[in-house]
Amino acid sequence: MPKSASIKSREVPYLEYPSSNNQDNNRRKCLIFYIPGNPGLISYYKPFFTTLRQLLDEKEAKPDSQHAFHIYGQNLLGFHDGDHEPSFGTKTEDGHLTEPFLLEDQIRYLSETICQVNTVSGPFDEVIIMGHSVGSYMALEIFHRHHMAVRNQDEDNQLRKIRFKAGILLFPTVAHIAKSGSGQKLDLIRTTPFLDTWAHQIAKGFVNLCPSWFLNTVVRKVMRFPEHAAEATLGFLASKDGIWQAIHMGKNEMETITEEKWSEDLWEIQDIEDERGGEEEELDASKFFFYFAQKDHWVADECRDEFIEKRRRHEKGKTRIFIDEEKTPHAFCIHHSEKVAERVNLWINQISF
| Residue 115 belongs to domain with CATH number | 3.40.50.1820
Confidence label for 156 from pLDDT (cuts 50, 70 and 90): confident
State the sign of the Cα–Cα–Cα–Cα dihedral 260, 263, 265, 266.
Answer: negative
For the cut 50, the answer to whether the pLDDT of residue 337 exceeds it is: yes
For the cut 50, the answer to whether the pLDDT of residue 274 exceeds it is: no
Model pLDDT, residue 353:
60
Model pLDDT, residue 92:
84
d(CA 195, CA 161): 44
pLDDT, tens digit, for every residue of 78-134? Answer: 999 999 999 999 988 888 899 999 999 999 999 999 999 999 998 999 999 999 999
For residue 183, being part of any structural domain is answered with no
- Indicate the number of domains in the chain: 1
pLDDT, tens digit, for every residue of 280-321? Answer: 445 557 899 999 999 999 999 999 999 999 999 998 889 999
For residue 51, being part of any structural domain is answered with yes
Model pLDDT, residue 276:
42
Model pLDDT, residue 96:
85
For the cut 80, the answer to whether the pLDDT of residue 36 exceeds it is: yes
Among candidate residues 140, 348, 111, 157, the one with its CA nearest the CA of residue 256: 140
For residue 228, being part of any structural domain is answered with no
For residue 193, being part of any structural domain is answered with no
For residue 155, being part of any structural domain is answered with yes
Q: Rounded mean pLDDT of the chain?
A: 92
Confidence label for 347 from pLDDT (cuts 50, 70 and 90): very high
Least confident of 23-37, 152-166, 234-248: 152-166
Model pLDDT, residue 59:
95
d(CA 165, CA 278): 12
In the chain, helix, strand, coil percent, each to 5? 50, 15, 35
For the cut 70, the answer to whether the pLDDT of residue 1 exceeds it is: no
Domain that holds residue 118: 3-178+257-350
For residue 219, being part of any structural domain is answered with no
Looking at residue 268, its amino acid is E
For residue 188, being part of any structural domain is answered with no
For residue 70, being part of any structural domain is answered with yes
Long-range contacts, 321-324 (Cβ 8 Å, 24+): 321/289, 321/290, 321/292, 322/289, 322/290, 322/291, 322/292, 323/292, 323/293, 323/294, 324/291, 324/292, 324/293, 324/294
Calculate mean pLDDT across residues 143-164.
89
Share above pLDDT 90 across residues of the chain, in percent, rounded to a whole number = 83
pLDDT, tens digit, for every residue of 174-187? Answer: 999 999 999 999 99
Question: Quick check: 145 and 162 in contact, CB under 8 A?
Answer: no
